[in-house]
Structure 1
C-alpha cells in the first residue's frame, strides 16, 4: 500500500509516494537525473516496504508529477535542494525514527554529497553512482560521433541562452545510438528505456531532458565529498558499467571511512536485472543494520 503525498522545496511542490512502514526506518529515494519516481524506484521501494521500511519516493522539481517550470530542466543544485527538503519531510512521517537515502546514476552521486552534510541521515546507498562527471564524460565521448558531440554542445549553449531569454527548453533524448544527439550514447544507457519501463509500463515518463541541464552534470564531481561522509555508505558498483564507471566509485569508496562495497557483474542497470536479488538482499541487510531501532524489553 502506498499513498500520494507532497512536500515543498524552495516554494515548489514535489510529488511523492509514501509507503508506510513498521520498523522505524525510512528510505528516501528518487529516480535518475531525469528518471521519474515510478520507473526509477518501484521495484526497490516495494521490496523495502515489504521488509517493514517506510519509503518516500519523490520526483525532482520540473519532472513527473512534481510542479516547477520550465519542464524537464534538471539543475544539480536544485535537485540537491529537493533532496534536503525530502529528507526533512521524511522525518515528519508517522513512526519514522531514522532516515536513509538511496539513488542511482547521477543522483547516486548526490547521495555521496548529502551524506557529508549535517542532515541527520543514518545510512546512504549509492547505486551505479556517477561520482566524477568529467571522467565519466570523457569515457562516454568514446561512444559519440564528433558531429553529434558538437551538436549536443551547441544545443546546450543555445538552450542556456534561451533560458536567459525565457524561451522553452530545447530537449535532448536521455539515450540514443552513436551518431544521435542524446545525453548518453553508451551501450548500457541505450538499454535504460526497456529495463526501467518494460513494455512501456510507465508511458507518462518523458525520456528527455533540457539541453541546458547537460553542462552542470558534466562538471559535477561528488567524489570530493566522500572523505567527509557522516554516515555509512553502501556503494553498489557494476563492474561493466559504461555510463557511470566502476573505477571512480571504487576510488571514492576507498576514501569513505564507513564504506561498504558490493561489486556485481554486469552493466549500469544490472541491479535492476541480473544482479537484482543479490543487490536487494545486500541493501536490505545494510538498511536493517543501520536503520532498525532495537528496543530492549522493559523490566516488569
Structure 2
C-alpha cells in the first residue's frame, strides 16, 4: 500500500491532523482536515475480518485531504482490539453505533453532518444504522453484503462441514473460557478467508490470496461459530427503511459481493445511486482501483455533505 501512496502522492500531513478517540474502552482514530474547521465527518467501518489501519488508512487520508473528517475503528477482536476474531454482525452493529456517537461528539467536527462508509458486511451494517437513526445523513455502501450466508462456501459439503463445526464451537468455546484458554485459541476454529470450495467464514475465489497480499501476512482464523452467525444474518428487508442519500458501489469483478446483487439491493433504497467500478473486492483498497473508486465516493460526499 505504501507503494501505491508513492505513485499517486500521499496527502501531506500538513493538510490534516490525527488523534485517538476512546470508544467504550477501545481506541478509534480521527483524521481531521485543517480546513474547514468544522468539517463534516465520515465513520469508516472495516470490511469483514479486516483491521482498519492496513486497509482504510489511505481512504481516511484522502477524505481528510478533501475536507472531511474521518473516524476509523477496529471491530472487537480485530486489529488493535484483542479478542477472538469472531465475525458477529450484531456485535459489529453495536461497535458502529458507538463509533457514530463518538464521531458526533468530537469537538473539532460538525457532528450534524455525518456520513457512514462500510464495506461488504459493514456496508450492510451501515445501511441498517441509517435505517434506524436520523443522525446518519449519507451512506456509502461499497460492495455491500446484506445476507451473511452469501459469504460462506458456495459448495454444499464445505458449507455443511463449516456449520457443523460452528455448532460444536459453542460448547467448546465455553469450556475453553472456563479453563482460561486465550480467546484467539479456544474452541473450534476455521480460516477467516478461503476459496469457494473451502471451509472458511469468507469463501470466494482468490479471497485468501488477496487479503494475504493486502495485509502482508496470513489473515488467521475465526471461531467456527462465526459461520452460524453469518448463516442467520439477513438485512435484505431492512434497506427499504433507509431514508438518506445512499451510494451503492459495485465491483465488476467482485466474487464476494457480485455486482448483480449490489444492483438489486440499490433498487430497494428510495434515494440511492449506483456506480459500477472495474475492480475486484479487495483490489479497491489500494492502488489505481482505490483512486478510481474514491473519486466516485468523494463526488457523492461533495454533493450530499
Question: In the alignment, which of 264, 269, 285 is matched to residue 299 of structure 2?
Answer: 285
**After the TM superposition, which residues 18-29 of structure 1 pair with which residues of structure 2 at under 5 Å, given as runs?**
18-21=30-33, 22-23=35-36, 24-29=39-44
- The answer to whether residue 70 in structure 2 is matched with residue 55 in structure 1 is yes
Where in structure 2 are the equivalents of 1:42-81 lying within 5 Å? 42-66=57-81, 69=83, 71-81=84-94
The one of the two structures with greater contact order (alpha-carbon pairs below 8 A, sep at least 6) is: 1
Unaligned runs of 5+ residues in structure 2 are 1-16, 178-185
- CA distance in 2 between counterparts of 1:73 and 1:228 reads 28
Q: What's the CA shift string for 1:196-233, capped at 9, x where partnerless?
A: 22xx2xx6x85322211121212322221111112111
Partner secondary structure for residue 267 of structure 1: coil
Aligned match for 1:4, one of 12, 20, 28 = 20
Normalising by the residue count of structure 1, what TM-score does the alignment of the two structures yield?
Answer: 0.83
Number of the residue aligned with 2:162: 152
| Displacement of 1:164 | 4.1
Q: Determine if contact 1:84/1:119 at 8 Å carries over to the other structure.
A: no
Shift of 1:170: 2.6
Q: Name 1:175's counterpart in structure 2.
A: 193
Structure 1 residue 82 and structure 2 residue 95: aligned?
yes
- The alignment status of 1:113 with 2:123, answered yes or no, reads no
Q: 1:193 aligns with which of 211, 220, 239?
A: 211
CA RMSD after TM alignment: 2.2
For residues 151 and 86 of structure 2, the distance between their equivalents in structure 1, rounded to whole angstroms, comes to 19
Q: 2:173·2:188 contact (CA, 8 Å) conserved in 1?
A: no
What residue in structure 2 maps to residue 162 of structure 1? 172
Cα pair distance change 1:289/1:195, threshold 3 Å: farther
Instruction: Give the stretch that moved more between structures: 164-173 or 247-256.
Output: 164-173
Q: Which runs of 4+ in 1 moved over 6 A?
A: none
- After superposition, the Cα gap between the structure-2 partners of 1:223 and 1:249, relative to the gap in structure 1 and judged at 3 Å, is farther
Unaligned runs of 5+ in 1: 292-300
CA contact (8 A) 1:104 1:128 kept: yes
In 1, Cα distance between the equivalents of 2:31 and 2:151? 36
Q: Which residue number in structure 2 is paired with residue 269 of structure 1?
A: 282
Q: Could you tell me how far apart the structure 2 residues matched to 1:190 and 1:26 are?
A: 32
TM-score (norm 2): 0.82
Contact 2:189 2:224 (C-alpha < 8 Å) held by counterparts: yes
Of stretches 273-282 and 250-259 in structure 1, the one that deviates more from structure 2 is 273-282
Cα distance in structure 2, aligned partners of 1:88 and 1:185: 33
CA distance in 1, matches of 2:246, 2:50: 22
Do 1:188 and 1:267's aligned partners in 2 also have CA atoms closer than 8 Å? no
Helix, strand or coil at the partner of 1:116: helix
Measure the CA separation in 2 of the matches of 1:104 and 1:19: 19
Q: Which residue of 1 aligns with 2:10?
A: none
